[in-house]
Amino acid sequence: MLYRFLSLLLTSTLVCTSTTSATIDRKSVVSRFNPTRNASSSSTPMQVGNGNFAFGADVTGLQTFLPCAILSSWGWKNDSFPPGKSLEDVLSYEGVQLLNHGREVQYEFLNATGASEDQQELQQWLISNPNRVNLGRTGLAFLASPGGKVNENVTEGNLEDIVQTLDLWTGQMTTSFKFEGSNVTVRTVCAQDSDVIGVQVQSPLIAQKRLGLFVHCCQLSY
Ligand SMILES: *[C@@H]1O[C@H](CO)[C@@H](O)[C@H](O)[C@H]1NC(C)=O
Ligand SMILES: *[C@@H]1O[C@H](CO)[C@@H](O)[C@H](O)[C@H]1NC(C)=O
Ligand SMILES: *[C@@H]1O[C@H](CO)[C@@H](O)[C@H](O)[C@H]1NC(C)=O
Ligand SMILES: *[C@@H]1O[C@H](CO)[C@@H](O)[C@H](O)[C@H]1NC(C)=O
Ligand SMILES: *[C@@H]1O[C@H](CO)[C@@H](O)[C@H](O)[C@H]1NC(C)=O
């Protein structure tokens, strides 16, 4: 009996030892799935964030060409009510009654075929509100001449050799491209303990005063 117990113990020890020695190289497994891009996506922008705050980027690592959003868990707003409608109208929204197990139950959605336009507008407002505030926008400013005005005509089509990667292990987004023959590298990260991003832009165009940053803050008029 004792022998059998010992041999069982020995076997399980051996099994344990063999499994713990086979460690997974998590970094290399995770890094295999790093997303890469060579063009902006308006529906699924590349993002950095921390779970409460997310910064969506176009193919410049910022929001140069697309108004990608900066959203948070703490910034919310209501849109205006539909034209001619007030809070009372919203509160009077009734939805539809449907038979459920032999009794009428009120549901907060409409009978799409039978609902009046008024009720549909109110329903749409209730579906869409409150919603997250887009906290701002920041991007690269390509200057028309050294220290001159921003050249609004520059588009994504003017960039060459675009490579954008999100390193899933470190959370750093790295974007590089060429503009008029000069390299530009943008590194974008998000703090994990506060809702702040860090951006590093490297390019000979900065010393030539042909590249800058623009920042638009959200209008806090909600
Ligand atoms: C961009 O990436 C797509 C696939 O994601 C690929 O088909 C295409 O050839 C790439 N274009 C360039 C210019 O590298
Ligand atoms: C949005 O409107 C509803 C109804 O008036 C109100 O209860 C809610 O606090 C509002 N939310 C925000 C973020 O303004
Ligand atoms: C939805 O509206 C249509 C047209 O008014 C009506 O025939 C139908 O019975 C309604 N359905 C419900 C579930 O109320
Ligand atoms: C941008 O395009 C407009 C219209 O074609 C042109 O008038 C303007 O000079 C251009 N600006 C620059 C900086 O090239
Ligand atoms: C520009 O970037 C490319 C690709 O990353 C690199 O091979 C090249 O050496 C860079 N050129 C300069 C002048 O830094």
pLDDT tens string 8-54: 444 444 444 545 568 999 999 999 999 999 999 999 999 999 999 99
Distance CA 16, CA 20 (A): 6
What's the mean per-residue pLDDT of the chain?
Answer: 89
Say what the pLDDT of residue 112 is: 65
What is the mean pLDDT of the segment spanning 58-76?
96
Nearest CA to ligand 2 atom 1: 78
Say what the pLDDT of residue 102 is: 95
**Is the bond leading into 130 cis (omega within 30 degrees of zero)?**
yes
Question: Given the CA of residue 149, which atom of ligand 4 is nearest to it?
Answer: 13
Dump pLDDT digits (tens) for 96-148.
Answer: 888 999 999 988 887 766 678 888 899 999 999 999 999 999 999 999 999 99
The correct CATH number of 34-76+133-217 out of 2.70.98.50, 3.40.50.1100, 1.10.8.60, 1.10.940.10 is 2.70.98.50
In our burial notation (b when 16+ CB lie closer than 10 A, e otherwise), range 48-58 reads bbbeebbbbbb
Quickly state the pLDDT bin for 220 (edges 50, 70, 90): low
Q: Is 181 exposed, middle or buried (0-12, 13-18, 19+ CB in 10 A)?
A: exposed
Nearest CA to ligand 3 atom 1: 114
Dump pLDDT digits (tens) for 174-197.
Answer: 999 999 999 999 999 999 999 999
In our burial notation (b when 16+ CB lie closer than 10 A, e otherwise), range 120-155 reads ebbbebeeeeeeebbbebbbbbbbeeeeeeeeeebe
Say what the pLDDT of residue 6 is: 44
CB of 187 closer than 8 Å to CB of 208: no
Nearest CA to ligand 3 atom 14: 111
Asked if residue 74 has its Cβ within 6 Å of ligand 2, the reply is no
Asked if residue 85 has its Cβ within 6 Å of ligand 2, the reply is no
CATH 2.70.98.50 in the chain, residues?
Answer: 34-76+133-217
CB of 66 closer than 8 Å to CB of 197: no
CA of residue 214 to ligand 4 center, whole Å: 19
Residues 6 or more apart whose CB falls under 8 angstroms from that of 92 comprise none
Q: Structure tokens of 53?
A: 């705050």
